[in-house]
Amino acid sequence: MNIFTTFKLALRALWRNKVRTLLTMLGIVFGIGAVIAMVAGGQGAQASVKEVFQSLGTNVLIVTNSSTQSFGAAGGAGSRLSITWDDMTALEAEVPTIKWIAPLLQARNTQIASEDNNWNTQVNGTTATWFKIRNWEAAEGVVFDEDTGGGNAKIAVVGRTVATQLFGESSALNQVIRIAGQPYEVVGVLASKGQGPMGDNDDIVVIPVKTYQQKLSKGLGKYIQGQLLVSTAEDNQAETTIAKITAVLRDRHKLDTTQEDDFRIRNPAEFAKAQQDSTERIAMLLAIVAAVSLFVGGIGVMNIMLVSVIERTREIGIRMAVGAKPIDVMTQFLVEAIVLAAVGGALGLLVGYGAAQYMADYFGWKFFFPADTAAIAFGVAGGVGIGFGLYPAIRASQLDPITALRYET
């Protein structure tokens, strides 16, 4: 019998039991859908973790004032000041693996305004070096150079989101924005970086650190009311740099061996790596669960095919009597199982695609449609059809025509 006729027969047989076919198919639909959604979700989560890691800048270390310990209650990182501006200069001079070092003073939830609009954002006070560490350039205008970054002019570089919120379609460049009542000239608009670990990377205003101290903080003091961002020259220098910074700061702060560090050094790369590892592990687990559900769907197919073979024993007998060879009967049932699984697989692709997109939207991940996984999943669906359809099909083909003809349903 030619394959086209076989497919037609299979479709008709499946169509006859619509509800049963649909229910059996659902197992495959959700199995395949789950595999695709989980793999897509896993890739999306990993990509977003990776993006976070990259948006922080590579080879970056963060040095903060340590938290206070007063009567056992931790006051949060930076609540006790210990790092001075002189410390920064000393670190730059004494730690050879430091490529760049920049202070970062942050005021979250700061109200800013243009002529027509206002917006609540994060204002950073830093130097020209910070842009190098973040590997961030201006899309329009300029970022700070040594002079402007080190000075106390009332100038600002704004992120894309801020520019849009305050000035809409028109250019923010050379416009005036007000921060805490003071006017600032916008000298640059940053290239868009999209979503980051703390939300929107582009929701930011950057002003010179001295200006920040004078206008938004307590003036030019001895201590850095924020953190230091350190960038190492090479990827693998984090460990040695941390050790060296620790030594220099302990020495400068005159800490003896019994005293704890009065500062903290964080390595975001390590954090990101750990997060990436755990994301990967969770994604793997979910994919395994999804694969199990696909397997269960396959068992459903086998179950129904076995029932179908028994129900249609008489039909098998009739077909054999009129000349169907065992291979014809086997092919018929196998093709039915394959069609069932393949159609289920195709629907599963749609379900998986939809679920992946929904998850990407919901969690703010980049949408990934794992085309290779989809192809594999579809192949697996076909494989499930063959794998779980084969046994019932063989049983059908091994029936004795005489017994089958006499079978009473």
Partner 1 sequence: MPAPLIEMRGIERTYVMGDNLVHALRGVDLTIDKGASIAIMGTSGSGKSTMMNIMGCLDQPSKGSYMLNGKDVARLSKSQLADVRGRMIGFVFQSFNLLSRTTALENVEMPLMYQGVGARDRHRRAMAALERVNLKGREDHQPNQLSGGQQQRVAIARALVTDAPVIMADEPTGNLDSKTSHEVMGILQGLVAEGRTVILVTHESDIAAFAARVITLRDGLIIDDKQQTPVKAEVAA
Instruction: Using the minimum distance from each CB to partner 1, give the nearer residue, 193 or 319.
Output: 319
Give CA–CA dist 388/297, Å, rounded.
Answer: 10
Q: Minimum CB separation from partner 1 for residue 338, in Å?
A: 19
Instruction: Using the minimum distance from each CB to partner 1, give the nearer residue, 216 or 324.
Output: 324
Instruction: Using the minimum distance from each CB to partner 1, give the nearer residue, 145 or 311.
Output: 311
Tell me the torsion sign for CA atoms 347, 353, 354, 359.
positive
Give CA–CA dist 50/156, Å, rounded.
Answer: 29
* Enclosing H/E stretch for 189: strand 182-190
* Enclosing H/E stretch for 199: strand 199-200
**DSSP character at residue 376:** H
5 lies in the binding site for partner 1 (CB under 8 A)? yes
- CA-nearest of 118, 35, 60 to 377 is 35
2 lies in the binding site for partner 1 (CB under 8 A)? yes
Q: Minimum CB separation from partner 1 for residue 317, in Å?
A: 8
Span of 128-136, 248-256, 300-308, 326-334 interacting with partner 1 by CB under 8 A: 326-334
Span of 25-33, 155-163, 174-182, 310-318 interacting with partner 1 by CB under 8 A: 310-318
Map residues 345-384 to x or -, x wherever contact with partner 1 holds by CB under 8 A. ----------------------------------------
336 lies in the binding site for partner 1 (CB under 8 A)? no
Three-state SS at 183: strand
Instruction: Using the minimum distance from each CB to partner 1, give the nearer residue, 16 or 218.
Output: 16
Instruction: Using the minimum distance from each CB to partner 1, give the nearer residue, 197 or 401.
Output: 401
Give CA–CA dist 35/293, Å, rounded.
Answer: 9
Three-state SS at 46: helix
Instruction: Using the minimum distance from each CB to partner 1, give the nearer residue, 314 or 395.
Output: 314
In this structure, the dihedral spanned by the alpha carbons of residues 358, 361, 366 and 367, taken in order and rounded to 10 degrees, is 30
Map residues 382-401 to x or -, x wherever contact with partner 1 holds by CB under 8 A. -------------------x
When binding is defined by CB under 8 A, the residue of 86, 325, 354, 361 that contacts partner 1 is 325
**DSSP character at residue 181:** T
Using alpha carbons, list the distances in angstroms from residue 231 to 20, 56, 84, 134.
63, 11, 18, 9
317 lies in the binding site for partner 1 (CB under 8 A)? yes
How many residues touch partner 1 under the rule CB under 8 A: the total is 21
314 lies in the binding site for partner 1 (CB under 8 A)? yes
Burial 274-295 (b: 16+ CB within 10 A, else e): ebbeebeeebeebbeebbebbb
Angle at 66 between CA 144 and CA 90, to 5 degrees: 50
Span of 60-68, 146-154, 221-229, 322-330 interacting with partner 1 by CB under 8 A: 322-330
Residue the block writes with tokens 């975001």: 268
* Enclosing H/E stretch for 11: helix 3-16
Instruction: Using the minimum distance from each CB to partner 1, give the nearer residue, 203 or 315.
Output: 315
1 lies in the binding site for partner 1 (CB under 8 A)? yes
- CA-nearest of 322, 285, 326, 306 to 388 is 306
Give CA–CA dist 224/215, Å, rounded.
Answer: 15
Q: Minimum CB separation from partner 1 for residue 302, in Å?
A: 24
When binding is defined by CB under 8 A, the residue of 197, 326, 382, 383 that contacts partner 1 is 326
Q: Minimum CB separation from partner 1 for residue 10, in Å?
A: 13
Which residues in the 16-55 window bind partner 1 by CB under 8 A? Answer: 16
Span of 173-181, 195-203, 212-220, 325-333 interacting with partner 1 by CB under 8 A: 325-333
Instruction: Using the minimum distance from each CB to partner 1, give the nearer residue, 9 or 113.
Output: 9
End-to-end CA distance of the chain: 27
Span of 71-79, 155-163, 216-224, 315-323 interacting with partner 1 by CB under 8 A: 315-323
Binding residues (CB under 8 A) for partner 1: these are: 1-2, 5, 16, 314-315, 317-328, 401-402, 405
